[in-house]
Structures are given as C-alpha cells and as structure tokens.
C-alpha cells in the first residue's frame, strides 16, 4: 500500500465508522482524534479567549514568544466542512507552519454549522482578525491561512475587509481551498474517479448544511464569484486528485486577471489537505516549507 493510500485509509476509517444516528459531537471528537497522534510535544496549544470565542496560540521553538505586536503572526482557519475540526485537529499543521515561518499561529475555534449557519464562522474570523489588530499587530505583519472550508473563510474575510475599506493582511496561504460552494468546477467531473473522499453530491450537501437557505452562488458565500481586485498575494496548494482542484486553479486564474499576485501549485498524486499527513507524505513538509517561505517573503509589505 502506498503512503498516499495509507493516508486515505486513515480518513476512510473515521468516515466509515459513522452511521446515520452518530451524534455530531462524536463525529467532531473522532475528527480531532484522527490527527491527535501527530501533535508535537514541544509546541503546545495555548488557549486564549477572544470575546465569546475560543482560540489557541501555537508557537514552535524559536518564534516570537509574547504573541503580541512587533512581530509577525498568522491567523489560521481550520477545515472540516464548516461542521468539524478545531485547533486540536490542526495542531500539527499549525506547528509546522509556525516553524516554517518563525511566527506564532493563532488557531480559531470558530462556531460550527449546522448550529451556527452562515455567516457565523465568517463573522468569527473577522472578530479574531480585529482582535489581533487590537493586540498591536500591523495588518502588513499578519497573514491569513486556512485549509478547505477554512480557505473559504480566509478569502471571504479578506473580501469583507477590502469592501469595508480596512487594511488587508500581507498575504494568504490556502490549502485545498473550497471557494465554490456550488461545486460547479470542471474537476468535479475530471477528478471524480481519482478523489477517494469527496464528490459533487457530498460537497453540495455539506454546503446546504452550512448555508441554511443562503444562495451558494452568492459571492459572499463562494469567494470564487466575487470581484477579486485589490487582494493581497495568494498562494494556493492543491492535490491533483481532488475534486476541488478547480476551486484553487480557477480562483488563482481569476485573481491574476484582476491584477492580483496569485499562484496555484498543483501537487501530483496528492489528496485533500495532504499537508496534514507529514508522518506519511514527504510532500506535506515540502509544501508547508514553500508556504512558509511565501509568507515570510510578504510579511511587512503593504497590501494593495
């Protein structure tokens, strides 16, 4: 069995254990436990309250220790289809990103659907961003990062900040970003047999559970359909086996057409958020390393 297949089997083992009557709380606990063995012992999560929200700082060795202004920081939005995931499930990924950048990472435990439908998670993201600004960080010393649904939140937050005339982050790093909640991308057809987990029906069902009647084609929901001018530099990473491949590739193409510096890296043979499997996939560390260098390059720059 290949290393990629081993990663796939880990995910399938969790999905396959769920039944129609499995409580959502149990699913969330299962999802956190899936990645718990990868948590690094030398980079603990440090809980912090942001108003009514929970969050956690993650500082790898050698990063800024005070978690306040005067250095760089990253706001990280976890994936999980808006209904699963937490800083605990993304502990290792955030630690690797902290090491790759030398910056502390703030993981946000945003409110989850279906209890808290759109735009709750997006509102929470903006609360966390403004909290970081209030700690003394300049916008140009901050970056946003996120995977899957978290990538959607990161991009949605940037668009809201731009439309509100607020300062933008230095850059954004997006992993297997979900940018089109209509699931209309070409890759839902061309990668239907290659993707071991996600198909169009599943993606649309997840979107419906989060939207609570909102139109998935609304640019406020699906950032792919927004005016993309004036955004900061963007780096997308996506696996070549993903049905959401088009979500990254099409977004980067549209952003470049709008005058934005945007790159979509397509990683051969890789699956959804492959960066979460560093014990199996050497590509995971390579990708995070490239993402870290990208953010380091842009910290301190003033976004357009």
Question: What CA–CA distance (Å, rounded) separates 146 from 75?
Answer: 8
CATH number for the domain including 182?
Answer: 3.40.50.1820
**Residue 37 within any structural domain of the chain:** yes
Over range 39-56, report the average pLDDT.
94
Q: DSSP letter for 125, please.
A: H
| pLDDT score at 84 | 97
Distance CA 36, CA 276 (A): 11
State whether residue 203 is helix, strand or coil.
Answer: helix
In a domain, 158, yes or no: yes
Nearest Cα neighbor of 276 from 93, 144, 151, 81 is 93
Number of domains in the chain: 1
1-15, 38-52, 63-77, 273-287, range with the lowest pLDDT: 63-77
In-domain check, residue 186: yes
- Is residue 143 included in any domain, yes or no? yes
Distance CA 255, CA 78 (A): 23
Write out pLDDT tens, residues 262-297.
Answer: 999 999 999 999 999 999 999 999 999 999 999 999
* CB burial readout 15-28, b (16+ within 10 A) else e: eeeeeeeeeeeebb
148 has catalytic annotation: yes
Give yes or no for residue 261 having a pLDDT over 50: yes
Concerning whether 301 is annotated as a catalytic residue, the answer is no
Catalytic one of 78, 90, 198, 272:
272
Mean pLDDT (the chain) is 95
In a domain, 304, yes or no: no
pLDDT, tens digit, for every residue of 93-119?
999 999 999 999 999 999 999 999 999
Reduced DSSP (H G I as helix, E B as strand, rest coil) percent helix, strand, coil of the chain, to 5:
40, 15, 45
pTM, full prediction:
0.96
Quote the pLDDT of residue 67: 46
Choosing from 89, 98, 148, 187, the catalytic residue is 148
Q: What would the mean pLDDT of 62-89 be, rounded to a whole number?
A: 83
pLDDT higher than 50, residue 68:
no
| Domain around 133 | 3-298
- 137 within a domain of the structure (yes/no): yes
3-state secondary structure of 93: helix
Residues 6+ apart with CB under 8 A from 41: none
Is residue 115 domain-resident?
yes
Establish if 303 belongs to a structural domain.
no
Q: What is the mean pLDDT of residues 50-64?
A: 89
> Among residues 242, 248, 283, 298, which one is catalytic?
242
Residue 58 has pLDDT above 60, yes or no: yes
65 is catalytic: no
pLDDT in tens, 148-207: 999 999 999 999 999 999 999 999 999 999 999 999 999 999 999 999 999 999 999 999
pLDDT at position 183 is 97
């Amino acid at each position: 069995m290949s290393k990629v297949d081993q990663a796939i089997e880990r995910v399938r083992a969790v999905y396959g254990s769920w039944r129609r009557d499995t409580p959502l709380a149990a699913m969330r606990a299962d999802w956190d436990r899936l990645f718990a063995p990868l948590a690094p012992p030398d980079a603990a999560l440090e809980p912090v309250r942001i108003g009514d929200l929970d969050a956690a700082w993650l500082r790898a060795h050698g990063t800024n220790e005070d978690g306040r202004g005067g250095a760089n920081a990253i706001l990280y939005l976890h994936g999980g289809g808006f209904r699963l995931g937490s800083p605990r499930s993304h502990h290792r990924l955030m630690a690797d990103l902290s090491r790759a950048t030398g910056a502390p990472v703030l993981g946000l435990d945003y409110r989850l659907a279906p209890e808290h439908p759109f735009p709750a998670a997006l509102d929470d993201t903006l609360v966390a961003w403004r909290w970081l600004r209030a700690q003394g960080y300049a916008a140009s010393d901050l970056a946003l990062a996120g995977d899957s649904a978290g990538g959607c939140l990161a991009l949605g937050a940037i668009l809201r900040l731009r439309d509100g005339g607020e300062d933008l982050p230095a850059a954004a790093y997006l992993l297997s970003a979900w940018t089109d909640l209509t699931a209309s991308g070409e890759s839902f057809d061309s990668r239907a047999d290659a993707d071991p987990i996600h198909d169009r029906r599943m993606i649309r069902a997840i979107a419906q559970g989060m939207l609570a009647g909102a139109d998935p084609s609304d640019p406020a929901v699906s950032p792919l359909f927004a005016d993309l001018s004036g955004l900061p530099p963007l780096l997308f990473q996506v696996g070549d086996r993903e049905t959401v491949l088009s979500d990254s590739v099409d977004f980067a193409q549209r952003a470049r057409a709008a005058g934005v510096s945007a790159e979509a890296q397509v990683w051969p043979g890789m699956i959804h958020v492959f960066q979460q499997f560093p014990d199996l996939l050497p590509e995971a560390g390579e990708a995070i390393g490239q993402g870290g260098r990208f953010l380091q390059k842009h910290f301190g720059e003033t976004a357009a």
